[in-house]
Amino acid sequence: MRQALQQEFDDRMTNWYRLNGIRSHLSWDQQTIMPEKAALGRGQTLSWLAGQAHNHITDDKLGEVVSLLEAEIRDLDDDDACNVRRMRREIDLATKLPVELVEEMASVVSQARQVWQDARAASDFAMFAPSLQKIIDLTKAKMQYLGGDSANYDVLLDEYEIGMTMADYDPLFAGLRERLVPLLDKIMRSQRKKPELSLPEGMQFAIADQDSFCRFVSARMGFDFTAGRLDTTTHPFCSGLAVGDTRITTRYDESDPFSCLYAVMHETGHGLYEQGLPDQHALCPRGQAISLGIHESQSRLWENQIGRTTAFWQVVLDTFKEKFPELPPDLGAEEMNRIANAVKPSFIRVEADEITYNLHIMMRYEIEKKIFEEDLPVAEIPEVWNTMFAQWFGIEVPDDSLGCLQDVHWSYGAFGYFPTYTLGNLYAAQLSAKMVDDLGDLDEIIRSGDWSPILAWLREKIHSHGMLYDPSELIERATGQPPSPEPFLDYVEKKYSRIYGL
């Protein structure tokens, strides 16, 4: 009896994941190579697929099967029990939403992505405002279905990091600001005494050579290009579409090779997580990443704790200079690392240094709270953004593309997503500190050029577990301590005190 029940559950679960895989594939195509005029048709297809996936997971028979398995969950092995628990959460959330809302949201955001892209290119928020208004209205409707009359921003936060609420984020962010802002002030004073290093002014870095170098670094990190690919897009992202098919993306700036390099290292970190998930559980929760915060820990660890070190540049600098022979011959690894770790308030979040990055996240968090807790009108978002940015960063936003249009997230309704980036920073620092305990000096491993011990450690501690544990439990199991901001604060304070001689 249980065997037949388990088989039906497995069949229904894997078919739901197959539907979502098709949706992800079409979304990747839309953001990379799809013709601009295909937006309407793609939106209709994605809307239909969203409805099919919704109907599949809300089917009464699936709910009945899950309920029967829940009654016997103590007799299930850990993997099957994990699948039942995680699918129950998905079913409970989905059954609260009408299929019409799900289909409409899928259609609206599909078309909104192209509108956002055009608006960003034109630096014209007014072009995107009508689409954003629709997305916010639909999101507020979703909140009511999920949370009832008392629904608030917590409903959206929980979607991306299980159990996290404003009551968690508010004191966390306040504590981080209390330590990061004084550190930023010290660094700024230090820079006034000693001019910041930079790459030669006016030098151009050919896109083909940037691409070749970034592929070299990504492969050195362990990314399997026979099971993945690198493409260009407006806003870099990673998609784990299926076993043996992980897509990463980047964008290029001929005047700034670091923009592409660290985007590729970031997305490769995501891609390594996707490629490291257990293949035998590919079409069920047990084989999925547990949260965006954990996902971000993988990308930020490789981007920052590995990529923004002198040891990293000691390994890759010769290849970098081969690609760009116009660079000064006396430019060494320490100088490159100093350039890569330059701290200064800047407009673009994804290119921000480790000190100001979390301030970017906190500002977006506060704006989203204004939207969903205080009903901030869409038309006022640019003004609120620019005012807050001037107050927080001390610089005036010159146009919308460098302001409220820079991130893709709102165009696909991902409200509540941004705080997970900060969680990723905190988790990454805690993981790398434990990695040092287990493997020894991290710089020595990086300097050796063989980074496989780092990846193997992450495979064992994080990737292999899929959704077996909640995020906080996974971090505690990996490091021996519950999640804490202290390792991150200790890391940045020591690192930048050393770099800037504070």
Which residues neighbour 175 within 8 Å (Cβ) at sequence distance 6 or greater? 485
* Both structure tokens of 168: 């968690």
Determine how many CB atoms are found less than 10 A away from the CB of residue 224. 13
The answer to whether the beta carbons of residues 307 and 336 sit under 8 Å apart is no
Determine the number of helices (DSSP H) and then strands (DSSP E) in the chain. Answer: 20, 3
One of 90, 100, 201, 267 is an active-site residue; which one?
267
Can you name the residues that pair with 247 across neighbouring β-strands?
229, 239
Taking CA atoms, 151 is separated from 173, 226, 466, in Å, by: 22, 45, 30
Give Cβ neighbours of residue 383 (< 8 Å, ≥ 6 apart): none
Cα angle 406, 409, 415 (rounded to 5 degrees) comes to 125
CB 193 within 8 A of CB 199: no
CA distances from 256 to 202, 252, 425 (A): 10, 8, 24
Q: Which long-range contacts does 62-66 make (Cβ < 8 Å, 24+ apart)? A: 62/9, 62/12, 62/13, 62/87, 62/91, 63/91, 63/95, 65/5, 65/8, 65/9, 65/12, 66/9, 66/91
Long-range contacts of 455-458 (CB under 8 A, 24+ apart): 455/221, 455/222, 455/272, 455/276, 458/272, 458/273, 458/276, 458/298, 458/301, 458/431
Residue 474 φ/ψ, nearest 5 degrees: -60, -45
| Cα–Cα distance measured from residue 102 to residue 413, given in angstroms and rounded to the nearest whole number | 12
Instruction: Look at residues 401, 299, 122, 402 and name the one whose alpha carbon lies nearest to residue 393.
Output: 402
What tokens appear for 182 in the block?
């004084």
Question: Concatenated DSSP letters for 436-500?
Answer: HHHH--HHHHHHHS--HHHHHHHHHHTGGGTTSS-HHHHHHHHHSS---SHHHHHHHHHHHHHHH
Q: Are strands 238-242 and 245-250 parallel, antiparallel or unpaired?
A: antiparallel
Q: Is 267 annotated as catalytic?
A: yes
The secondary element (H helix, E strand) that includes residue 232 is strand 228-232
Distance CA 442, CA 454 (A): 9
Checking phi first, is residue 173 left (phi over 0); if not, alpha (psi -120 to 50) or beta? alpha
Catalytic residues: 267
